Amino acid sequence: MANSPLVARPTDALQPPKSLPPSSGGTPSGGLPRSARGQQIAALARPTMDLMEQMNEDEKNKYIKGKKLGEGTYANVYLGHSRLDSSTQVAIKKIKVQKEYQDGIAPDAIREMKYLQKLRGHANIIILHSVFSSKDQNLNLVLEYLPLGDLEMLIRDVDHVRYGAADIKAWMGMLTRAIWWCHDNYVLHRDIKPNNLLIAADGEVKLADFGLARSFADPGVRMTANVITRWYRPPELLFGARHYSGAVDIWSVGLVFAELIIRAPYLPGNSEVEQIALICREIGTPTEENWPGVTQLKEYTVPSDVVPVAGKDKYMGRFGAVGSDGVDLLTKTLVLDPRRRITAREMLEHRWWKADPKPTPKHDLPKKTAGAEEKLAADLKRRNGMVEDDDVRGSKVARKLDFGTAR
Amino acid sequence: MARPLDPLGFEDEMCPVCKSRKYLNPDIVFVFNPECYHSMCLNCANRLFNDGPNQCPHAGCNKTLRRKGFRSAFFGDLAVEREVDIRRRVAAVFNQVEDDFETLQDYNNYLQMVEDLTFELVNGTDERRRQAEAQLQAWEAEHRADIERNKKAGREADEISRVRLAAERDAVRQRRIEAIKEAEAEKRERVRSREMELDNLAKGTTAMTAEPATKVQLKRRGQVNRVAETASNPAIATTGMGTGASEVERLSIRGLKEKPKAPAPQGPYDPFGGMDFAPSRYKLHGGLSHPLMEKYRLDRQHVAGGYSFDDFAARALYEAFAGLGVFVEDEKEVGSGIGLSQETSMAAGIAAVVDADKMDLD
């Protein structure tokens, strides 16, 4: 046990990770003078440091970094492959040192590593192969290489990509399974949207970008309400709820479902106020009757004209393509009161999956190859929804234009 | 087989049956039968086999030949002719393409196999040749459907490339015609402007007027070029793109066709994807309670925010039982789970974080 790096870690945490040679000056961050005692500690800590560095080096050498797929403000993405077997491709996400977090790892990188490790082993969640640090303490996440872009690309490319109810059912099945896996492992994803749903070479949809994920909070522990990209944000978060559950992800899943059907964002609000107004108009105004206690939420404000909660008929008109059962599932995911919203497990037990048409086998799902690589890079290097809400919207507009011209 | 250097072919070109030579009879045509690849002159072949099948006249060859089977050689060396025939036949049977294979390695192995077989057929002893022949026939019988499909695909690809070549030729011809027309128009224009110039001079106006005329002409030439470009290009662009796209599509479709070769037994769709997460060591009953939970159960913020106390209870139980049945020593040996080095590299980074707990704050 004494050799375990897990046990040795607490003592290392006192020291900067790289052991500096004595001639290069003291350790400015540690604030220790260049005293005999300081050097003694360094000497003591050194063997374990070297071991760690050695292990890191070994891990790093397992992969060969290839061409750059994309560069962003938050991370660069490279194509890479395993040194032993050049046919296993990986995407290496090299996280840049951020201004706000120069002394350590940015929280989203920590979240990503922590929860991807925790959730490994499900077919619908992107695999984190390894983590290593390269020079200048840059973090590198070795992720599964998913060459076929994301769902957003397929949804937006109305001219070239055609899909039907069976395809939607297959995609929704994979997405719901991913969420179910997260929730059954007590992890909230908190940023579900079509461009976080990447597509593997065999057509499997994989949930990626766990930069906003966290585990379920204990009662009384506050979580931030400022998560999930606005268009997919549930009303309880818009009202500033600090104690929420997996229901927030289910709302996003419902909106992705709706977007898959109508091939356009269902509730594209330009601001939070507008987002609430859109929800009230399309789904119904949250009131004490349909959501007990909602008026107590901190930022509860709704437009004055109260719209009754939409019935199934209203949804049938717009989302009828997935059949009556599909619309039933959709309405259940878009229930205003989070406690009455369907859970991931209940979603999977819904009768829609058993109804006709049968979900398309993953190999036969529509796919798009051109431009997928850039899309993967764009998805991985992007910052999470919380920080860049406005930029995300702006870039969406630009991307729409791009699709029109790049035919 | 060493043939003397004989560019005019006087020496060798002798019919072994009637002994007539090319030197004496320049019109002589040599034919052979692919049964045995023995050559003779056309006259002899007609004479010997006119009355139905007969034995090959070569000494020691007891093949029975028919008149119909005779043809003239494409290659001077009949050994080459024979090898080409064999290769053609083998290629017709083994007509898989690289796309049909999972990996390049498989494809290369296949090519090697085909080449070995071909070599046996061409150069093998009688015994081995018979064996290879049997193999070839067995394969042909076994994979008839595949062979047909590939043949058809090959024909289609040929058709596409033929159409594309034709379109390209057409475009080239069109361009040439355009160019000729343009040159003619230009010549006419030049003549006309010259006449105009002369007229102008005759009328006594100054050279100033002549200048704009050339300018106009130049301008027009540019325009003509541009018009010609747009006229000829769309044809190329559309045909080129059209065939290109369809070719690519066809290829990908063919790739897809290969995949459902092994159709997985399609059971009913399992929404859970074959996974189950039910706890094995305990059973979860609703209505679990704990003072920590009760304190918040009626809190308006928890109620309205949709906080799930059941999830909390389930998690608490799950975590209480989580370590049971996990033996660190076993996992160390097997090396399952996340590598230690990952932990380490994370630790190396985390070590520098002043307050690592920050990440759990929100």
* Listed range (A43-47, A318-322, A369-373, B148-152) with the worst mean pLDDT: A43-47
A244 pLDDT tier (thresholds 50, 70, 90): very high
Q: Which two tokens stand for residue A76?
A: 């660069």
How far, in whole angstroms, is CA A56 from its chain's centroid?
26
- Kindly indicate whether the domain formed by B1-73 is annotated with CATH number 3.30.40.10: yes
Q: What is the mean pLDDT of residues B253-278?
A: 58
Percentage of chain A surpassing pLDDT 90? 33
A11 pLDDT tier (thresholds 50, 70, 90): very low
- Count how many residues are written for chain A: 407
A207 pLDDT tier (thresholds 50, 70, 90): very high
- Average pLDDT score, chain A: 80
Nearest-angstrom CA–CA distance, A212 and A332:
25
Nearest-angstrom CA–CA distance, A74 and A277:
32
Could you tell me if B122 and B133 are in contact, meaning their C-beta atoms sit under 8 angstroms apart? Answer: no
Q: What is the mean pLDDT of residues B266-289?
A: 76
Amino acid at A297: L
Strand partners, A205: A199
Q: State the pairing for strand pair B30-32/B39-41.
A: antiparallel
A373 pLDDT tier (thresholds 50, 70, 90): low
Class of the CATH domain delimited by A151-406: mainly alpha
Half-sphere exposure of A158 (CA within 13 A, CB side): 10
Residue where the block lists tokens 């910052």: A383
Q: Is 90 exceeded by the pLDDT of residue B61?
A: no
Q: Is 90 exceeded by the pLDDT of residue B185?
A: yes
- The reported pLDDT for the residue numbered A385 is 52
DSSP state for residue B72 in the 8-state scheme: E
> DSSP string covering A132-181, please?
EEEGGGEEEEEEE--TT-BHHHHHH-TTT----HHHHHHHHHHHHHHHHH
CB contact under 8 A, B269 and A354: yes
Q: What are phi and psi of A214, to 5 degrees?
A: -155, 165
Give the predicted TM-score (pTM) of the model.
Answer: 0.56
Amino acid at A325: D
Sheet holding B39-41, edge to edge: B39-41, B30-32, B71-72
Give the other-Cβ count within 10 Å of B98's Cβ. Answer: 12
Q: Is 80 exceeded by the pLDDT of residue A193?
A: yes
CA distance B108 to chain A (A): 17
Amino acid at A204: E
Q: Which helix (H) or strand (E) holds A66?
A: strand A63-71
Could you tell me if B302 and B296 are in contact, meaning their C-beta atoms sit under 8 angstroms apart? Answer: yes
Q: What is the pLDDT of residues B7-36, one digit of tens each?
A: 554 456 788 888 888 888 888 888 888 888
Q: What is the mean pLDDT of residues A249-256?
A: 95
Q: Which helix (H) or strand (E) holds B71?
A: strand B71-72
- The reported pLDDT for the residue numbered A400 is 39
CA distance B93 to chain A (A): 30
Q: State the pairing for strand pair A75-82/A89-95.
A: antiparallel
Nearest-angstrom CA–CA distance, B328 and A233:
41
CATH topology of domain A59-144: Phosphorylase Kinase; domain 1 (3.30.200)
Nearest-angstrom CA–CA distance, A209 and A199:
13
Cβ-based contacts of B284 with chain A (< 8 Å): none
**Helices (H), ranges, chain B:** 42-49, 78-93, 104-123, 126-142, 144-203, 210-258, 291-297, 300-305, 309-322, 328-334, 340-350
DSSP state for residue A232 in the 8-state scheme: G
Q: What is the pLDDT of residues A36-57, one digit of tens each?
A: 444 444 445 455 667 888 888 8
Q: What is the mean pLDDT of residues A131-159?
A: 86
C-alpha distances (whole Å) from A380 to each of A49, A70, A135, A213 are 31, 9, 21, 15
Q: Is 50 exceeded by the pLDDT of residue B328?
A: yes
CB contact under 8 A, B312 and A218: yes
Cβ-based contacts of A137 with chain B (< 8 Å): 349, 352
Nearest-angstrom CA–CA distance, A391 and A193:
15
Q: Is 70 exceeded by the pLDDT of residue A59?
A: yes
Q: What is the mean pLDDT of residues B304-313?
A: 86
Q: Which of B252, B248, B266, B237 is nearest to B168 (CA)?
A: B237
Amino acid at A274: E
Pairwise pLDDT comparison (B227 vs A128), residue with the higher score = A128
* Listed range (A86-95, A259-268, B96-105, B231-240) with the worst mean pLDDT: B231-240
DSSP state for residue B21 in the 8-state scheme: B
Q: Is 90 exceeded by the pLDDT of residue B106?
A: no
Q: Is 50 exceeded by the pLDDT of residue A25?
A: no
Q: What is the mean pLDDT of residues B101-119?
A: 87
Task: For residue B344, give the 3-state DSSP assignment.
Answer: helix
CB contact under 8 A, B341 and A353: no
Is residue A108 part of the annotated active site? The answer reads: no
Given A150, A157, A167, A191, which residue is catalytic? A191
Q: What is the mean pLDDT of residues A251-255?
A: 95
Half-sphere exposure of A241 (CA within 13 A, CB side): 28
Give the other-Cβ count within 10 Å of A194's Cβ. Answer: 22
Q: What is the pLDDT of residues A296-351, one digit of tens each?
A: 888 898 888 888 888 888 899 889 889 899 999 999 999 999 999 999 999 999 99
Nearest-angstrom CA–CA distance, B272 and A168:
16
Name the range with the highest mean pLDDT among A185-189, B74-78, B103-107, B353-357. A185-189
Strand partners, A312: none
Nearest-angstrom CA–CA distance, B114 and B111:
5
Could you tell me if A208 and A115 are in contact, meaning their C-beta atoms sit under 8 angstroms apart? Answer: no
The dihedral through the CA atoms of B216, B218, B224, B227 has a sign that is negative
A5 pLDDT tier (thresholds 50, 70, 90): very low
Nearest-angstrom CA–CA distance, A226 and A242:
9
Name the region of A160 (left: φ>0; alpha: ψ -120 to 50; beta: rest): alpha
3-state secondary structure A85-104: CCCCEEEEEEECCCHHHCCC
Q: What are phi and psi of B347, to 5 degrees?
A: -60, -40
Q: Is 70 exceeded by the pLDDT of residue B91?
A: yes
Could you tell me if A390 and A396 are in contact, meaning their C-beta atoms sit under 8 angstroms apart? Answer: no
Q: Which of B311, B134, B45 is nearest to A248 (CA)?
A: B311
Nearest-angstrom CA–CA distance, A383 and B139:
57
CB contact under 8 A, B342 and A105: no
Could you tell me if A139 and A133 are in contact, meaning their C-beta atoms sit under 8 angstroms apart? Answer: yes
Name the range with the highest mean pLDDT among A246-255, B68-77, B141-150. A246-255
Residue A74 assigned as binding residue: yes
Pairwise pLDDT comparison (A15 vs A150), residue with the higher score = A150
Cβ-based contacts of B299 with chain A (< 8 Å): 243
DSSP state for residue A125 in the 8-state scheme: B
- Average pLDDT score, chain B: 74
Q: Which of A338, A314, A311 is nearest to A228 (CA)?
A: A338
Residue where the block lists tokens 């990908």: B252
Q: What is the pLDDT of residues A62-113, one digit of tens each?
A: 898 888 887 776 788 899 988 888 888 899 998 887 777 777 778 888 888 9
Q: Which of A280, A311, A315, A314 is nearest to A294 (CA)?
A: A280
Name the region of B19 (left: φ>0; alpha: ψ -120 to 50; beta: rest): left
Residue A300 assigned as binding residue: no
Q: Which of residues 60-99 of A touch B (CB under 8 A)?
A: none
CB contact under 8 A, A104 and B345: no
C-alpha distances (whole Å) from A372 to each of A207, A368, B247 are 16, 7, 20
- Count how many residues are written for chain B: 362
CB contact under 8 A, A15 and B351: yes
- The reported pLDDT for the residue numbered A139 is 87
Task: For residue A188, give the 3-state DSSP assignment.
Answer: strand
* Listed range (B6-15, B17-26, B118-127, B191-200) with the worst mean pLDDT: B6-15
A206 pLDDT tier (thresholds 50, 70, 90): very high
Could you tell me if A206 and A125 are in contact, meaning their C-beta atoms sit under 8 angstroms apart? Answer: yes
Chain A within 8 Å of B362 (Cβ-Cβ)?
Answer: yes
Rounded to the nearest 10 degrees, what angle do helices B126-142 and B104-123 cross at? 140
Amino acid at A23: S
Domain boundaries, chain A: 59-144, 151-406
Residue A73 assigned as binding residue: yes
- b vs e for B217-254, b when ≥16 Cβ sit within 10 Å of the residue's Cβ? eeeeeeebeeebeeebeeebeebeeebeeeeeeeeeeb
* Listed range (B3-7, B16-20, B110-114, B200-204) with the worst mean pLDDT: B3-7
Percentage of chain B surpassing pLDDT 90? 12
How far, in whole angstroms, is CA A393 from its chain's centroid?
17
A187 pLDDT tier (thresholds 50, 70, 90): very high
Q: Which of residues 217-256 of A touch B (CB under 8 A)?
A: 218-220, 222-224, 236, 239, 241-248
A383 pLDDT tier (thresholds 50, 70, 90): low
Chain A within 8 Å of B353 (Cβ-Cβ)?
Answer: yes
Pairwise pLDDT comparison (A237 vs B231), residue with the higher score = A237
C-alpha distances (whole Å) from A83 to each of A87, A355, B34 are 10, 46, 54
